[in-house]
Structure 1
Amino acid sequence: MEFDVVVVGAGPAGSMAAKYAAKNGARTLLIEEHAMIGSPVSCTGHISVKALNECELPEGNFINKRIRGAFVYAPNYHSIPIDGKRTMTYVVERKIMDREMAKAAASAGAEIWVDTAVRSVKKVNGGVVLEAVSEGKRTEIPAKVVIGADGVKSMVAKSAGLGRIPHVCAGIQVEASYEPRDDEFVEVFLGQRYVPKFFAWAVPTSGDCCRIGLNADSDAHMYLDRLLKEHEIVSKKARGTVDLIMGGIPVGTLKSTVTDGVLIVGDAAGQVKPVSYGGIYMGTRCAKIAGEVAAKAAIEDNVCSARLKEYERRWRGEFGRELAFGLEFRKIFGRMTDEDFNEAVTALDDPEILDMITQYGDIDRPSLLARQFFKLSTKERVWRFVKLFSRVFF
């Protein structure tokens, strides 16, 4: 059977793309290389309220915890509370959530195959043919359009000639017994000794457990071990570490996410925030566009690059500026010394500034808060903060 749209990868972006392709009338197949959707997990499972809304799931048994804020620790252990005063994020079980999203795609009309790994994508007249191994047997899957949602090492993108993500960092975490300062707050840790160019976290889950982890360009295991054993706060509270997970996180996007018969979405496209390194909100938003465009192009029997470019225009129109801001912020953040972080946290420790962060802080669109900072730049502490960032940038 020839499908109109085949989606490779049954993570949140892939399932959403399949759902929207099916909803728009396409004969849709969603394939997953692993035997079980949602396994193995390679994500902290800390997502915003907006991200869950974009997943189009009701609150369910996959939610472990509701989070309203964060304690941010400078390298000198001075901390500030960022209190959203309402539920701002959720801690979820990704295995369950991913499966619920795949079920929603099936309910919309998508067929699902698991234990099916794509080896290559060949362009043919009027579409593509996927060469795959399904349940141990070689098979060919003809389609008009393929949507690659197969992660940072996307075989679909590489095989279609769209290249690789410009940079991939590592995310690593353990689950451990850990008494959080407040179980409605995550804890964020800064400092070159433990997380050069990035940040570490302790995210409450259920019971007395937290997910403790960090991002790193290299030596991720070494930095996590150092955090758990030497950090003045973490080392005193983390006990009985279990369930080590690790995954790649894209930094930057593909130059193009479209070619004849092919669209790339989610982590495979680099649709991840360069400030918080979360990808579910942006990935699912872009996946809806991808599913819609792919379905309509397939039904029209016009799957050339020029037709599919609608997807690229629309998703970059919505997120291009935010991604550009995030990448510039990442450069500045990466240049900051421990002394810079200490100064920044001290400068932000002001009731008026913290109220502004509460009002305008948006984990999915951090540029909104940045604009408010410049409006308050006549305030001495904000001016200190702006001058600090300007010094690091220039």
Structure 2
Amino acid sequence: MDILIVGAGPAGSLAALNLGKKFDVKIVEEHQAAGFPVQCAGLISDECYESLRRYSKKSFVNRIRGAFFFSPDGNFVEMVGKRKGVVIERKILDVELLSKASEVAQVWLKAKYIGSSGKVARIIHNSEKKLVKYDYLIGADGANSKVASEFDFSKPNLYPAVQVEATFEPLDENMVELYFGEKYSNGFFAYAIPLESKIARIGVVSKTEPLNHLKNLIEKHPSVSRRFKGSFLELNAGIIPIGLNEIAKGNICLIGDSAGMVKPYTGGGLYYHLIAAEILGESFPNLELYKKRYLKKMAREYSIGSKILKLYSILSDSDYNELVKVGKDIDFSKLDMDHPSSILRILPTLVRKIALKPGLSVKVTKNLL
């Protein structure tokens, strides 16, 4: 049984690793190397990192114990949840994953998927046109998936993002910083992820104009502007797919960003890709079973994550300022960065804290319950 995987990012490599020992797998990747271009902030949970360590030993950068949640006025609350985080270097992770995948699958780099006719794919490999027969086709080719478009899968919403690696003085080199407010993002948030004591990845995810919001963050934010030291070491831009699509049709399935498999409220996807690849390996070749099992395990998380995402567009700057004030008295230890449903554990306490702010209380309860 021949399987063609389009895309050699983490989703494609993980799919190959879970299928390659039982089936004949070929991966085609249009770029000349895995890990480029970089379109990821590189923050994952410690649980996700431990799972990925089976394949990647050199991608570790820093450990994260929690986050500072900043309101637009520059105040912040410390949030330390149930699960810790790890900062990774995605370029290294992608290369190591693909190297492992190459042990169980054939890999073609500089191989662009053009389209399919029947069960034959047209590929341009090193400038040469080739035909590749397959029984099953897996689209792991990112948010602008050619496979998803060709076979009329529904498309997720795309949020543009921009990120710089820069000299910066974090409040704590083991704490992520999240920045909310209309000056710093439209419908999402900005962030700083420390790599060490004086370097961080600073980025913005926004429905519109992420570069302008990033400029506002580093020049005008009451806290960030004082700690940003003005040197860009690296600039990356990308898009984040928000909204899970159909996942499978006939002998075609999607995995990773092409399927919208990201946390709607953070844009992170590696944990979801890991789960999807394992379920795909267990279910294959029954792609409907793959879809059913994935949705059974993850549908609630997507639903609640989407509700949190909606709040980003509803809450005003004054709402965020109030949330940070009351948040100083809330125990966040039950929150889990991989499971947005864990927010329900602190919701009763939060609602009590904001009861005297009826407008804010209605926004929060109406959207999360």
TM-score using structure 1 length: 0.87
Contact 1:348 1:385 in 2 (8 A): no
Distance in 2, matches of 1:258 and 1:338, equals 40
Q: Given the alignment of the two structures, is residue 251 of structure 1 paired with residue 230 of structure 2, yes or no?
A: no
Shift of 1:76: 1.2
How far 1:242 moved relative to its partner?
Answer: 2.9
Q: How does 1:356-375 map to 2 (within 5 A)?
A: 357-358=332-333, 360-374=334-348
Q: Does 1:120 align with 2:115?
A: yes
What aligned pairs does 1:21-100 form with structure 2 within 5 A after superposition?
A: 21-23=19-21, 25-57=22-54, 60-84=57-81, 88-100=84-96
Q: How does 1:137-286 map onto structure 2 within 5 Å?
A: 137-165=128-156, 167-206=157-196, 208-238=198-228, 239-254=230-245, 256-286=246-276
- 104 and 44 in structure 1: CA distance in 2 versus 1, 3 angstrom threshold: same
Identical residues among aligned pairs (%): 31
- Conservation of the 8 A alpha-carbon contact between 2:55 and 2:100: no
Matches within 5 A, 1:3-18: 4-18=2-16
Whether contact under 8 Å (1:325, 1:367) holds in the other structure is yes
Q: Which AA in structure 1 matches 2:112?
A: A
Task: Give the drift of 1:51.
Answer: 2.1
| Alpha-carbon distance change, 13 to 384 in structure 1, aligned in 2, over 3 angstroms | farther
Separation in 1 of the partners of 2:147 and 2:239? Answer: 17
Distance 1:369 1:287 in 2: 26
Distance 1:273 1:386, change over 3 A: farther
Is the Cα contact below 8 Å between 1:121 and 1:160 reproduced in 2?
A: no
The equivalent of 1:304 in structure 2 is: none
| Aligned-partner SS, 1:205 | strand
Cα distance, 1:203 vs. partner? 0.6
Q: How much has 1:112 moved relative to structure 2?
A: 1.1
Match of 1:302 in 2: none
Counterparts of 2:272 and 2:201 in 1: how far apart (Å)? 23
Structure 1 segments unaligned to the other structure (5+ residues): 298-306
Query: Is the 2:69–2:177 Cα contact (8 Å) retained in structure 1?
Result: yes
TM-score (norm 2): 0.93
- Relative to structure 1, is the Cα distance of residues 363 and 74 closer, same or farther in structure 2, using a 3 angstrom cutoff? same
Deviation string, structure 1 residues 283-306 (Cα, Å, up to 9, x no partner): 121122224434xx2xxxxxxxxx
Q: CA deviation at 1:132?
A: 1.2
Cα RMSD, aligned residues only: 2.0
Question: What per-residue deviation string (whole Å, max 9, x for no partner) do you get for residues 297-342 of structure 1?
Answer: 2xxxxxxxxx421111011111111101111221122110001101
Which runs of 5 or more residues in structure 2 are unaligned? none
Q: 1:386 to 1:27 in 2, by over 3 A?
A: farther
Contact persistence 2:173–2:196 (CA under 8 A): no
- Quote the offset at 1:62 in angstroms: 1.3
Aligned partners of 1:234, 1:76: CA distance in 2, in Å? 12
Asked if the contact 1:347/1:384 (under 8 Å) is kept, the reply is no
**Any idea what the Cα deviations from partners look like across 1:248-292, whole Å, max 9, x if unmatched?**
1011111x1111221101110001111111011011211222244
1:157-209 Cα deviation digits (max 9, x unpaired)? 111222422x1001111011001111111111111111122111111114521
Instruction: Tell me the distance in 1 between the aligned counterparts of 2:345 and 2:355.
Output: 13
The corresponding residue for 2:299 is 320
Q: Secondary structure at the match of 2:102?
A: helix
Answer yes or no: is the 8 Å Cα contact 1:175–1:212 preserved in 2: yes
In the aligned structure 1, how far is the partner of 2:358 from the partner of 2:343? 13
C-alpha contact 1:72 1:187 (8 A) present in aligned 2: yes
CA distance in structure 1 between the partners assigned to 2:327 and 2:200 by the alignment: 26
Q: Distance in 2 between matches of 1:10 and 1:290?
A: 16
1:61 CA drift (Å): 2.5
Aligned-pair distance for 1:50? Answer: 2.2
C-alpha contact 1:293 1:310 (8 A) present in aligned 2:
yes
Aligned length in residues: 365
Q: Residue 155 of structure 1: CA displacement?
A: 0.4
Question: What is the one-letter code of the residue matched to 1:11?
Answer: G
Question: Contact conserved, 1:76 with 1:342, CA < 8 A, in 2?
Answer: yes
> Deviation at 1:56?
4.7
Secondary structure, aligned partner of 1:112: strand
Matched residue, 2:328: 349
